[in-house]
């Protein structure tokens, strides 16, 4: 690594602060407001889940009461609030996604920024810009890594690994950290990095639903320590034991380094709102199941063959457990189960895809019919899913994934928001809350939910 004066953390902090001072492009501000609304709606829908209740109970036991609001009602200490609100955004596996980086930015950066906003006099515009910049950092890191089924980044939840850094930036900008403090925040976030993917590769753990929350809490913690004067390592990104060498098997190339610092391009423009509440890698298989559903129902004895690449294959094995998942989190992470559910019931919904689906006899029978075929090429982003209905050697119907199948525009995002609020038993508040968010009054919108009990 070069001397500390030219470390990547210093250059990155300077670039982020310059971008913040220059102002986030207006289209990115509008997109960020939309994603904040999406996240808040999801969190409200998740508030009544068993896992949400367990998280709140556990964090309040460790942190006690406080002044920071919890989505859906109640208060907690800021670090606990960041963890709880992040958990609520991710529990339903419905939060936004950057496909090339395979990460969920809003669930990490938004709760950290909102908890930080409660500790200062930040404007709504500053909060929105901080969320946009924290998300952008995560997306850049994800694009540099571009994980596939194997190789650097494949064994990490990059949402969590990079989320510590994105959340520290979002919280740090809201708190008004100066350049030296922001470098320290990145270094203190680095000292907490975690995110091994065993909770996803294995089965039976509900904690897969809350892994981003560690990053949201850790990022806020890093920013608060930096504000108080604790100095973190300036070589966190490119030091001898920095992020890329230690976690991702090699130093950055000059091209990757330049990409990380170039704010003429916004990678967060490629963050998408999810159409269905399940793991993103299952979405192409939901799409092809919808396309083939009519033919499948018309040929109940047909064999069902699902083609996968190495990335998708991770969500298919061990096949027996993936066909009969033990938890709702496992079900949403299982391509065989999500394909079967869609073939039986149609598109997954908050109301339909509940824990009761785990014992749905028709879905379980359908899952038993699903065969796997390896051999699709691996690639960043969406697996190129193919579903074939077979009668002996004859193909009755074959459906192939198209990226357009997953597109959610502003109109569909609003419908999703309304559905989330119906699920949360808040339908009469949807219009006022949506309007407040679209006006950019994000702190007022969150306050509207914090006051509920």
Rounded Cα distance, 391 and 397, in Å: 10
Based on the domain organization, do 97 and 230 belong to the same domain? yes
Answer yes or no: is 439 within a domain: no
User: Average pLDDT, stretch 20-28?
Assistant: 96
pLDDT at 154 over 90: no
Answer yes or no: is 427 within a domain: no
Number of domains in the chain: 2
CATH of residue 359's domain is: 3.30.1330.120
CATH of residue 259's domain is: 1.10.4100.10
Which residues have a Cβ under 8 Å from the Cβ of 134 and sit 6 or more positions away? 105, 108, 109, 112, 113, 166, 167, 169, 170, 171, 173, 219
**171 contacts 220 by C-beta, under 8 angstroms:** yes
**228 contacts 1 by C-beta, under 8 angstroms:** no
- The confidence score (pLDDT) of residue 452 equals 58
Rounded Cα distance, 177 and 326, in Å: 45
Angstrom CA distances, 295 to 51, 89, 221, 397, 441, stand at 37, 36, 53, 7, 48
Based on the domain organization, do 167 and 221 belong to the same domain? yes
Based on the domain organization, do 65 and 178 belong to the same domain? yes
- Closest alpha carbon to 163 in 98, 222, 208, 216: 216
Rounded Cα distance, 388 and 395, in Å: 7
Listed range (32-41, 183-192, 210-219, 251-260) with the worst mean pLDDT: 251-260
- Closest alpha carbon to 342 in 391, 401, 297: 297
Question: Mean of the per-residue pLDDT values for the chain?
Answer: 95
pLDDT digits (tens, 9 = 90+) for 227-246: 999 999 999 999 999 999 99
- The confidence score (pLDDT) of residue 451 equals 77
- The confidence score (pLDDT) of residue 149 equals 79
In this structure, how many other beta carbons lie within 10 angstroms of the beta carbon of residue 46? Answer: 28
Higher pLDDT, 48 or 151: 48
pLDDT at 221 over 60: yes
Q: At what angle do helices 8-22 and 124-145 cross, to 10 degrees?
A: 140
Rounded Cα distance, 430 and 419, in Å: 9
pLDDT at 453 over 70: no
* Residue 84 burial (10 A CB sphere; 0-12, 13-18, 19+): buried
What phi, psi does 418 have (nearest 5°)?
Answer: -60, -40
In this structure, how many other beta carbons lie within 10 angstroms of the beta carbon of residue 423? Answer: 21
**Pairs from 436-444 (Cβ < 8 Å, separation ≥ 24):** 437/33, 437/36, 437/37, 437/40, 438/33, 438/34, 438/37, 440/29, 440/33, 440/124, 440/125, 440/128, 441/124, 442/33, 442/36, 442/114, 442/124, 442/127, 442/128, 443/114, 443/117, 443/124, 443/127, 444/124
- The confidence score (pLDDT) of residue 393 equals 85
- The confidence score (pLDDT) of residue 398 equals 97
Based on the domain organization, do 35 and 148 belong to the same domain? yes
Answer yes or no: is 318 within a domain: yes
What phi, psi does 108 have (nearest 5°)?
Answer: -90, -50
Based on the domain organization, do 301 and 391 belong to the same domain? yes
Sole residue written with tokens 């492009």? 25
Based on the domain organization, do 260 and 295 belong to the same domain? no
Structural domain including 363 reads 280-406
Tokens standing for residue 421: 């609020």
Side-chain-facing half-sphere of 230: CA atoms under 13 Å = 13
pLDDT digits (tens, 9 = 90+) for 81-133: 999 999 999 999 999 999 999 999 999 999 999 999 999 999 999 999 999 99
Rounded Cα distance, 44 and 419, in Å: 11
Based on the domain organization, do 161 and 288 belong to the same domain? no
**187 contacts 236 by C-beta, under 8 angstroms:** yes
DSSP SS3 for 411: helix
Answer yes or no: is 355 within a domain: yes
pTM for the full model? 0.97
pLDDT digits (tens, 9 = 90+) for 346-376: 999 999 999 999 999 999 999 999 999 999 9
- Closest alpha carbon to 159 in 70, 93, 115: 93
Rounded Cα distance, 219 and 167, in Å: 4
DSSP SS3 for 74: coil
User: Average pLDDT, stretch 32-44?
Assistant: 98
pLDDT at 44 over 70: yes
Rounded Cα distance, 138 and 268, in Å: 8
Rounded Cα distance, 450 and 128, in Å: 19
Based on the domain organization, do 170 and 264 belong to the same domain? yes
Answer yes or no: is 443 within a domain: no
If pLDDT is split at 50, 70 and 90, which confidence band does 434 have? very high
Per DSSP, 275 falls in state S
Based on the domain organization, do 47 and 85 belong to the same domain? yes
In this structure, how many other beta carbons lie within 10 angstroms of the beta carbon of residue 379? Answer: 15
- The confidence score (pLDDT) of residue 139 equals 98
Sole residue written with tokens 């908050």? 350
Answer yes or no: is 54 within a domain: yes
Per DSSP, 274 falls in state -
Based on the domain organization, do 253 and 209 belong to the same domain? yes
Based on the domain organization, do 244 and 261 belong to the same domain? yes
Based on the domain organization, do 389 and 326 belong to the same domain? yes
């Amino acid at each position: 690594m070069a001397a500390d004066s030219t470390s990547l953390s210093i250059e990155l902090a300077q670039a982020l602060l310059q971008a913040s001072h220059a102002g986030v492009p207006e289209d990115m501000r509008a997109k960020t407001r939309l994603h904040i609304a999406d996240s808040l709606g999801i969190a409200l829908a998740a508030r009544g889940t068993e896992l949400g209740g367990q998280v709140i109970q556990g964090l309040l036991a460790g942190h006690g009461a406080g002044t920071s609001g919890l989505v859906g009602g109640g208060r907690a200490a800021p670090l606990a609030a960041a963890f709880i609100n992040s958990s609520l955004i991710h529990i339903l596996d419905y939060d936004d996604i950057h496909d090339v980086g395979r990460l969920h930015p809003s669930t990490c950066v938004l709760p950290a920024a909102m908890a930080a906003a409660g500790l200062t006099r930040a404007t709504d515009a500053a909060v929105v810009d901080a969320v946009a910049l924290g998300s952008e950092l995560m997306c850049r890191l994800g694009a540099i890594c571009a994980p596939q089924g194997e190789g650097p980044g494949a064994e990490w939840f990059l949402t969590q690994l990079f989320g510590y850094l994105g959340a520290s930036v979002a919280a740090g900008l809201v708190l008004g950290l100066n350049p030296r403090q922001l470098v320290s925040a990145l270094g203190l976030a680095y000292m907490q990095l975690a995110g091994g993917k065993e909770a996803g590769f294995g089965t039976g753990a509900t904690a897969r639903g809350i892994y981003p929350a560690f990053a949201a809490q850790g990022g806020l913690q890093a920013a608060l320590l930096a504000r108080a004067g604790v100095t973190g390592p300036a070589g966190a990104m490119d030091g001898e034991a920095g992020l890329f060498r230690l976690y991702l098997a090699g130093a950055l190339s000059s091209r990757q380094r330049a990409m990380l610092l170039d704010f003429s391009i916004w990678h967060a423009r490629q963050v998408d709102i999810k159409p269905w509440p399940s793991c993103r890698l299952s979405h192409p298989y939901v799409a092809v199941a919808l396309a083939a559903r009519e033919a499948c129902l018309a040929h109940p004895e047909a064999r069902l063959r699902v083609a996968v690449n190495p990335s998708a294959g991770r969500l298919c094995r061990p096949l027996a457990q993936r066909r009969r998942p033990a938890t709702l989190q496992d079900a949403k992470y299982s391509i065989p189960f999500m394909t079967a559910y869609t073939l039986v019931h149609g598109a997954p919904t908050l109301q339909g895809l509940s824990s009761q689906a785990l014992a749905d006899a028709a879905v379980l029978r359908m899952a038993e019919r699903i065969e796997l075929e390896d051999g699709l090429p691996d690639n960043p982003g969406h697996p190129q899913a193919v579903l074939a209905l077979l009668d002996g050697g004859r193909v009755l119907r074959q459906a192939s994934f198209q990226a357009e199948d997953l597109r959610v525009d502003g109109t569909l995002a609003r419908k999703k928001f309304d559905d989330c609020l119906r699920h949360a038993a808040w339908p009469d508040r949807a219009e006022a809350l949506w309007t407040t968010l679209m006006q950019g009054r994000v702190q007022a919108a969150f306050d509207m939910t914090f006051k509920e009990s």
